[in-house]
Amino acid sequence: MTGAPGRSGTYKQVRLFVALSPPAAVLDELEAAVAPLRPARPDLRWTSPQSWHVTLAFLGEVDDAVLDQLTVRLERAAGRHPGLVLAAARAGAFPSAPRARVLWTGLQADLGALRAIAASVAAGASRAGAPPPDERRRLRPHITLARSREPADVRPLVSELAGYAGRTWTADRIHLIRSHLGPQPWYESLGDWPLRAPAHGIGCVE
């Protein structure tokens, strides 16, 4: 798929999103809670810890011609906001647990601060020429654990994870990630930019 003509003749389209990435200790802890649930539900497409992230803005298919300006705008957006403390907790499903397409774990956080970062990211992307297709949708922060092609009843899984409460971690940067689709989808980091350090300093994973 190609876009408008560029210096090399055509622009390539790349599938992008902007996210926060939990540290390894947080991923390992969540994996320990999720791993025992997978064998009983082979009908679901379980995601791997390496792919776990918190999406701030899904940008969709973007002309690579705007990447330079996009990175500038994302760096500015990140610099306007302090890092924030997050923790994975509980579980839920989209659109509903009885007929789920997505199983997720939620986040405990200052949702106002998180949504402010997401709004700045979306505004910066729009100014760079890559408006998020979901920019008017209210942010529902989560980490996707599994997907289903057909509606699936995941109420037992949501119940199993209802008491999950992960360790806290400090998100101190945003990441621009390219999504490669195919039989074995994978993610490629194209850059990351630091959030502003809070006055009291950035904390560590407990």
Q: What is the pLDDT of residues 129-157, one digit of tens each?
A: 999 987 677 899 999 999 999 999 999 99
* Homologous superfamily in CATH for domain 15-194: Cyclic phosphodiesterase (3.90.1140.10)
**Does the structure show a pLDDT above 90 at 9?**
no
pTM (2 d.p.) = 0.88
Amino acid at 174: I
pLDDT score recorded for residue 182:
74
**Does the structure show a pLDDT above 80 at 79?**
yes
Q: Which residues pair with 12 in a beta bridge?
A: 2
Domain boundaries, the chain: 15-194
Q: Determine the Cα–Cα distance for residues 179 and 185; give it in Å rounded to an integer.
A: 7
Tens-place pLDDT, residues 23-34: 999 999 999 999
Q: Determine the Cα–Cα distance for residues 200 and 202; give it in Å rounded to an integer.
A: 7
Question: Average pLDDT, stretch 179-186?
Answer: 82
